[in-house]
Amino acid sequence: NAGVTQTPKFQVLKTGQSMTLQCAQDMNHNSMYWYRQDPGMGLRLIYYSASEGTTDKGEVPNGYNVSRLNKREFSLRLESAAPSQTSVYFCASSVVGTQNEQYFGPGTRLTVT
């Protein structure tokens, strides 16, 4: 099992450009999450999806959109990137009810200039 995979690992964008971060899991998990990690602020939840076809906002959703394409895949889109979105982005997944452990992907380092 690959677990949770994310692409790309690194990305540099110019202000105003758009891009989609991809996330996939092969553990048959129901729930998937997108977090961002900024220095000195820990990880903050952007969006989550409790099941295929459902998505909900987290703590910091502004400037982002998500798509739960199927049970395996959960993408994060930046429509018009801003320097404030420079961060490390983590995708995670979990199975409801199994001690609630979230499994994290390796992260994507995004820089917006």
Partner 1 sequence: AQTVTQSQPEMSVQEAETVTLSCTYDTSESNYYLFWYKQPPSRQMILVIRQEAYKQQNATENRFSVNFQKAAKSFSLKISDSQLGDTAMYFCAFMKYFGNEKLTFGTGTRLTIIP
Q: Which residues bind partner 1 (CB under 8 A)?
A: 31, 33, 35, 40-45, 48, 50, 56, 58, 88, 90, 92, 94, 96, 99-102, 104, 106-107
What is the chain's Cα-based Rg? 13
Choose between 14 and 39: whose C-beta lies nearer to partner 1.
39
Query: Is the distance from CB of 45 to CB of 31 less than 8 angstroms?
Result: no
Least distance in Å: CB of 96 to partner 1? 7
Q: How far is the CB of 6 from partner 1 (least distance, A)?
A: 11
Which residue lies nearer to partner 1 by CB, 58 or 63?
58
The label of the residue with tokens 């400037």 reads: 63
* Distant-in-sequence, close-in-space partners of 83: CB < 8 Å, separation ≥ 6: 15, 112, 113
